[in-house]
Structures are given as C-alpha cells and as structure tokens.
Amino acid sequence: MLSSWERKGPKRWPRGQKFSLTEIGLTAEAEYRATVTEMRSSGRSVLDGALAAWATPRGVTPKDGVVLTELRDGKVGVGDLVRELEAAGFAPDDVRSAIERLVAAALLAPLPLPSAQPGHAGR
C-alpha cells in the first residue's frame, strides 16, 4: 500500500533552493577542468577514460563535472542550472540527479532557504 509513496526520479528540491560548492567540491571542480583541458586533444576515448577516473572515486558520473563547473562562480539554483545546461543536452531530471549525487558526495551543499533565516517573516 505504501508503494505509491515511493519516490520515482531524482529528489525535488524546494523552490528557490540554491547550492554552493563545498571545499572538496572546489578541489574536484578544479581537477575536472584540468582533466578536460589536459586530455581534450588526446581523443575522445582517452578523455572519457580520464573523466571516468575522476568521477569513480567520488561516487559521481563524468557528466556531473559539468554541473560543478556551472556552480564554480557562486550560488545557483536548480532552475538556473536546468536552463544553463539544457543547451548542453541535459534534461531537467539529469540535472536534478547530478545535484543529488553531488550533494551525497559532499561536493555540493544546499544553502539555507531565505524563509529559514532568523528574522525572516513568512509571506
């Protein structure tokens, strides 16, 4: 009977939820960019292997590095990421799944919602 409560698909974050890279996320993002830069001219199979080697120990996928790079410059929300990554072929659920993996891997942290801040009056 409770099977109808089982979640299908990636986690749905609250509207307005923003994320920021953690310290290890900053390091992972820099390593991702360095890997892409170093291996880009070596051919697709070499690049794919290097990105898999970057992702596997972190428990993420190689495409999750693209999401990290979008968050490099500051706090970004799910809607912003979906819009930015749509042109790169990411479906909205791909972005949400990546966020879920990156949070689980402690590379990304959800920031407190404005409504959860002390002194914020509900509207």
Digit-coded pLDDT (tens) for 17-61? 899 999 999 999 999 999 999 998 898 999 999 999 999 999 999
The domain locations on the chain are: 17-106
Percent of the chain whose predicted confidence (pLDDT) is above 70: 85
Query: How far apart are the C-alpha atoms of 28 and 69, rounded to whole Å?
Result: 10
* Residues 6 or more apart in contact with residue 18 via CB below 8 angstroms: 75, 76, 77, 110, 111
φ, ψ (nearest 5 deg) of residue 122: -65, 150
Which has more confidence, 38 or 115?
38
**Among 91, 107, 93, 114, residue whose Cα is nearest residue 28:** 107
